[in-house]
Amino acid sequence: MNYSLYLLSATLFLGFLFILWNYAKGLKDSPREIWVLFGAKLIEYAAYGASNMAFVLYLSKDCGLDDIAAGSYIGTWSTLMTCISILVGSVVDAIGVKRTLLIGMGAMLVGRFVMPFTNQLILVSLFAFIPVAIGNAILVPVLSVGIKKFTTSESSALGFGLFYTLMNVGFALGGYIFDKVRQIFGEHTMNAIPLIGIEISTYQIIFLVSFIITIPSLLLILSMRDGISLNANGIIEISHRNETDPNFFTSMLAEIKKSFTDTIAIMKTVFLEKSFWAYLFMLGILVFVKLVFYHFNYTFPKFGIRVLGEGVKVGSIYGILNPVMIIFLVPLIAHFTKKIKSYYMLIIGTIISSVSIFIAAIPSYLFEPLVKTWVGNLIFVDWLELNSDRQNPVILGLVFFIILFTIGEAIWSPRLMQFSAEIAPVGREGTYIALSYLPYFLAKMITGPLSGWLLATYTPEGASSYPEQYMIWICIGGMTVLSPIGLVVFRRLFTSKGE
């Protein structure tokens, strides 16, 4: 029996506990609410990671949309989520972290409850996808705001570091759930729910599991104390809101309106700053490499199932491998490259990530010699649990591509946030980050239909073979290389603004 995978897993687990302990030591003075947020974040990203990979499969298999229509739908949905995220700051400032989280979690529970029990597109859109979009758009930025409130300036870096780590743990758990449900219930079969007797599809079971594991997250948020914050001296403060005041809701709405008006005023000022346009232009260039994550979530599941076969652990190939590597690589790379300027790290990282995509386009026969080696045995047998007749060398290309892409991501992704703070004028950091979503509006609307077109053209549903499947990665890689090229071409503009 090969124990290599078990040994590797044990080593990684011990390493993760060491990382967790070091973060926990630095956050010992934070209120218990920060651990509530971390627990809620871990659970939510597990549910989000599992359901996100099932969305396009559900839209096609259950709701009857073709590849292009499903891609267009998910692109529009993702754009709606981005739009809501920009506006959330006004709400959380007015009603507090706990109430905003409860609104987001309530919307999430409604959407995840409806989705398993209907495949009618109108009902799914109104009562499932829209509430889930609202919930996601609220939870992600508000969790960040909460961590900021529960840490001091000295411990905030540790808070966000643990935040980023647990987010990736959640994504890895989501990838595991996605694969495990498909392994137990089949790729796309109808299954009766015990006691109820209703038959739902495999992808709807994934949504049902996501709904069930969201409930503990809601309970955690309910246990939070409202109005908690940590001041600059590390002392916990509690500000109480008088909810018995008959004018409470009127005052709350007035606060939201004032906060929203102030936000618009700040945005107008920001739009007049040259550094902002340099920042926005840079984000527009980086859109090409960031949209690879979009393809991982919405193009890769269909591609993997069609090319590699039903039941293959496509969730593990990306959904587990990528986040597990990120957990360990980010602190390691950050330690050894802390003296290198953010802009140069962006260039190096995006070059590695964009070039890696072309590995997936390499002819599969070049990987065949590795199938029967210890590398092939580790990947095919120990990890993906594939019989000899299903050990497709294409998988090796995908695994090597994701490994190299993740190394690049660990270099450029953390530095993007740092560069945002460096290029933004003092006092405008939050607004710059909020407005950083703007370049993705148009990009997501284009990428959705493009994802569907690539699948329909090179890996059409029902085909017996896919001789041109590599073209999907050539197209995606060709667009992604525009990011490092743009960063190099406009280097003087960005470095001068950074200074």
CATH number of the domain bearing residue 183: 1.20.1250.20
Distance CA 174, CA 8 (A): 20
Whether 2 maps to a domain, the answer reads no
- In this structure, the answer to whether residues 106 and 226 fall within a common structural domain is yes
pLDDT band at residue 50 using 50, 70 and 90 as cut-offs: very high
**What tokens does 492 get?**
């003087």
- In this structure, the answer to whether residues 483 and 418 fall within a common structural domain is yes
432, pLDDT greater than 90: no
181 vs 434 pLDDT, higher one: 181
Provide the pLDDT for residue 496: 57
6 vs 163 pLDDT, higher one: 163
- In this structure, the answer to whether residues 173 and 86 fall within a common structural domain is yes
435 vs 405 pLDDT, higher one: 405
- In this structure, the answer to whether residues 234 and 322 fall within a common structural domain is no
pLDDT band at residue 68 using 50, 70 and 90 as cut-offs: very high
201, pLDDT greater than 90: yes
Q: 3-state class of 11 per DSSP?
A: helix
Provide the pLDDT for residue 247: 60
482, pLDDT greater than 90: yes
6-20, 215-229, 316-330, 454-468: range with lowest mean pLDDT: 6-20
Provide the pLDDT for residue 26: 80
Full domain range(s) for residue 410: 271-499
Whether 340 maps to a domain, the answer reads yes
Arithmetic mean of pLDDT, 279-299 = 88
- In this structure, the answer to whether residues 103 and 36 fall within a common structural domain is yes
Residue ending a domain, among 239, 258, 279, is 239
Provide the pLDDT for residue 315: 93
pLDDT band at residue 338 using 50, 70 and 90 as cut-offs: confident
Whether 443 maps to a domain, the answer reads yes
Please name which of 330, 315, 352 lies closest in space to residue 415, comparing C-alpha atoms. 330
| CB-count exposure of residue 354 (10 Å: 0-12, 13-18, 19+) | buried
Beta-carbon contacts of 493 under 8 Å, excluding residues fewer than 6 positions away, are 278, 281
- In this structure, the answer to whether residues 282 and 227 fall within a common structural domain is no
Whether 256 maps to a domain, the answer reads no
- In this structure, the answer to whether residues 431 and 315 fall within a common structural domain is yes
pLDDT band at residue 418 using 50, 70 and 90 as cut-offs: low
pLDDT band at residue 1 using 50, 70 and 90 as cut-offs: very low
